[in-house]
Chain A
Amino acid sequence: MNISELSPISRPPVAPLRKPGALERLTAIGAALAVTTGLFLYAGGWFTPRKLTPAAIINTFESVNGVHPGFRRNHAKGICVTGYFESKGQGQSLSKALIFLPGRVPMVGRFALAGGQPYASDTPQNVRSLAILFKLPDGEEWRTAMINLPVFTVNTPQAFNDFLVASAPNPATGKNGPTAVGAFLAKHPETAAALQVIRSHPFSSGFADSPYYALNAFRFLNANGESTPVRWWVAPDQTFQTATSTDKNFLFDALIAQVRAKPLHWRLILTVGQPGDPTADATLPWPPDRKQIEAGILTIDSIESEDISPTRDINFDPLVLPDGIEPSDDPLLSARSAAYSQSFTRREGERKEPSAVSTQEVGK
């Protein structure tokens, strides 16, 4: 060891860079900084450009639907509602979340059509969604985004992205490519099986008479610390209604008229999973005999256009959960949370265009 290191006072007056080993030490410092930078960039995905990221999923939406500034990249066409949830207390055995105590909590929500086209015409077979934000008394929130399919079509983020690409209309013909979908289904038997289940549940006529399913499994934690796999859905109290018209907003216009006529109700049903029920695969239904607990009644009594509702600027991230509800091992949950966040960040920075649906179009 160099004596100058041990006794700095007796160090001979040598220019620092001329000292023995200085160049090596300088190189080592440079290497350490370079490695740290490399690891940082690697963690940020800079060296894995083909990895599926939140931005890549939202880019796929934009390439399939085009970019519609200010709108959600999926479920772009929608309308906002408010109401409340009245718990009957039955959910308490499964979850300590405050929402399951008997009583009423306010909620805001949004009905929408799946897909990234904000000005698409309503069609009877378009997948419909209901997203809800429950405001718990202590300031916690529970957000859930549900659709009217009993199971989801895919079980991984990559499959979701690939199915989106395969189902996209051919830019030349404007028609869906059955070849691409066929090739996808051949590779994804779970999607083919899910589509069978979906076909066995015909769509209702509108938003109000439709059930909505959360699809992904979650884990409910009760006051005793017991964890139970749960899937939830909302069952409509409204009976089958015939469509009021067939113009481009007929689904939304019917909903506006119905909410104005009288409050709409759904029952929140908790489906209790058994050990061995799949929690990491949203394409698989649980056996039909699973216990169903009615946790309470959802009432929707007011409706307004996205143009004036603050709910337009809420991200219905399915992982905004209260204490007592936790994500399961379903890989779609984290991916949905990440992708919704990416879509939210993009649209919140863009100029807002008017919504296709206005409550004024339905005469009072």
Chain B
Amino acid sequence: MSTTKNPAQFALLSRMLHWLMAALLVAMLFIGVAMVSSLGDYHRLLIIHRPLGILILILAAIRLVTRMLTRLPPFPPSMPQSERLVAKLSERLLYALFFALPLVGWAMLSAGHYPIVMFGAVHLPPILPAKPGLYATLRETHTVLAYLLFMTFLAHAGAVLFHTLVLRDGLLNRMVPWRVRSVEGESQS
């Protein structure tokens, strides 16, 4: 495997977006789950939830484009092929959820005949016609995807922590916001 030309880290923009989105997504998951079980805080959480979801959708699009246009750092050489496959698939799942959750939320409000209010008078157009059964299905889908995202986030964080703290293979260096010149993977290859 040729790693000499590969960068030690993801592009700076990708790394920044990773941590920003991580913070926003975790906040969003907590806001969402608290919102639907709360009477008193429902509205104040909902008015954050909608624009934050659209912000995440925009950030996800920028991040995907950045990822496609930049070189990716290699996995640590000690990482077995099977685990690399799992890592790649879980990454795809995360990206899919970054797009799916806001889009399903937007579609759900459209199907439910709700205005998609961002802030003040600013609102988005519906992306689906109002349709009662469709609303119910999308509403349920939104919840299922949110729990799936939470579990995928746990698996992702757990795996990276395991690599970083137990295997100590420098996997996290690929994504830390500061500059790391060389990772273990390169130096050993």
B is a partner of A: yes
Chain B interface residues (CB < 8 Å from chain A) = 29-30, 33-34, 36-44, 46, 112-115, 117, 120-121, 123, 125, 130, 132-133, 135-137, 139-140, 150, 154, 157-158, 161-162, 165-170, 184, 187-188
Q: Given A139-B123, A315-B112, check contact A54 B30 (CB 8 Å).
A: no
Sample (12) of A-B pairs whose CB atoms are under 8 Å apart: A9-B184, A16-B166, A16-B167, A40-B33, A44-B33, A44-B36, A53-B39, A54-B36, A310-B113, A317-B114, A345-B136, A348-B139
A9 to B40, Cβ gap below 8 A?
A: no
**Contact across chains for A29 and B40 when beta carbons are under 8 A apart:** no
Interface SS of chain B: helix
Residue of B36, B39, B169 contacting most chain A CB atoms (<10 Å): B39
- B residues within 8 A CB of A140? 115, 117, 121, 123
Q: Is the CB of A36 within 8 A of B39?
A: no
A25 touches B165 (CB 8 A): yes
| Interface of chain A: mostly helix, strand, loop or mixed | helix
Q: How far, in whole Å, are A22 and B169 apart by their CA atoms in the complex?
A: 13
Residues of chain A contacted by B123 (CB below 8 angstroms): 139-140
> Nearest A residue to B170 by beta-carbon distance?
A8
Question: With A29-B161, A33-B158, A333-B43 in contact, is A323–B121 under 8 Å at CB?
Answer: yes
Task: Give the one of B37, B133, B140 with max A CB within 10 A.
Answer: B37
Q: Which B residue's beta carbon lies closest to that of A45?
A: B37
> Interface residue tally of chain A, by bracket?
35 or more
> Which chain A residues numbered 38 to 53 have a C-beta less than 8 Å away from chain B?
39-40, 43-45, 51-53
Measured between alpha carbons, how far is A42 from B167 in the docked complex, in Å? 32
- Is A106 in contact with chain B by the CB < 8 A criterion? no
B33 touches A348 (CB 8 A): no
Given contacts A29-B165, A40-B150, A338-B38, contact A138 B121 (CB under 8 A): yes
